[in-house]
Copies of this chain bind each other. A is one copy, B any other.
Amino acid sequence: MLRFIKNLIALVSAKPVKAGKAAQQNETIDLILNRRSCRSFNSEEISREDQQVILEAGRFAPSTVNLQTWSFITFTKTQWHDVFSRPIPFRASFAVVICADTYRLKDVLPGFNGTPFVNLSFAIFNAGLAAMNMTIAAEALGINSVMLSETGKTGLLDFTYVKEKLNLPDGVLPVTTLVLGKSGSKLPVIPPRHPLSCLVMEKSYNKSAATDLKDWFHQMFIGFKLTHPLSNLNKQIEMYKKKMISVESDLKKYFF
């Protein structure tokens, strides 16, 4: 019970304490540290100009050897409905399927087909850089967002489904769908982060610090119970596991 109370408090008070001062003084730091994923949008549209700024933020992300191994497939509400026969998840106004793209360079850089793991690893990392840039740019414009990996069959866990719907050639992996809009309600608290001491190490890896996560898992469990009172976390985990096994074999089939 004491542990429950302690972790409940930790859960609702998760904050980047060490950097609080910088966040107060600097708009960009504040955006980065206090950003929250949004899962409820109002009906406000995102202007064409704002869409463009967000996409440019992706295009101008840095990437391994400037190879820009990404593609951004965009959808308005109507376009999403045309393709998926349902609204954008959480009724967001605009969606970008962010892909790790190892297809584009095949003609200009031939001869790299012997290293599919490495190529895909770089492409996925670069897609992460672009995705974060787009997300922060959106925040800077007052636009909320969430990156989806499973919800609404839109991310890596539904690889072959998205591949078919969007005509993705072999070598293109949809990693996440960034859905954007204006928040329709108060944003929830920041979900608990691993303690800094687990993540940040000096000079070399510290195995025992890295795995000291029991409190964190307990906080995640409490958070799930509070936000999904009727669901079962273990069932949710089993569902993920099942999907992951299926994607594992799809990845092998299409990439390796």
Contacts and interface: CB of A to CB of B under 8 A. Distances in A.
B247 A115 contact: yes
Contacts of A75: 202-203
Nearest to A216: B108
A201 B35 contact: no
Q: Report whether over half of chain A's contact residues are helix, strand or loop; otherwise say mixed.
A: helix
B199 A62 contact: no
A200 interface: yes
A220 interface: yes
A249 B16 CA distance: 39
A8 interface: no
A93 interface: no
Interface residues of A, number: 120
Contacts of A28: 27-28, 31, 136-137, 139-140
Interface in A152-183: 156-157, 165-169, 172-173, 175-176
Interface in A114-139: 114-122, 124-129, 131-133, 135-137, 139
A225 interface: no
A192 B111 CA distance: 23
A202 B97 CA distance: 10
Interface in A77-99: 79, 82-83, 99
Contacts of A74: 200-203
Interface in A23-59: 26-29, 31-33, 35, 37, 49-50, 52-53, 55-59
Contact of A194 (B59, B251, B252): B59
Given A128-B125, A213-B104, A22 B49 contact: yes
Nearest to A218: B108
Contacts of A60: 16, 32-33, 35, 190, 193
Contact of A205 (B31, B169, B237): B169
A43 to B, nearest CB: 21
15 contacts: A22-B141, A29-B53, A32-B60, A32-B136, A55-B200, A56-B196, A62-B147, A68-B193, A74-B200, A82-B203, A104-B210, A114-B244, A115-B248, A128-B129, A132-B132
Q: List the 5 shortest-distance A-B pairs measured between CB atoms, nearest first.
A: A128-B128, A132-B132, A28-B140, A19-B56, A115-B244
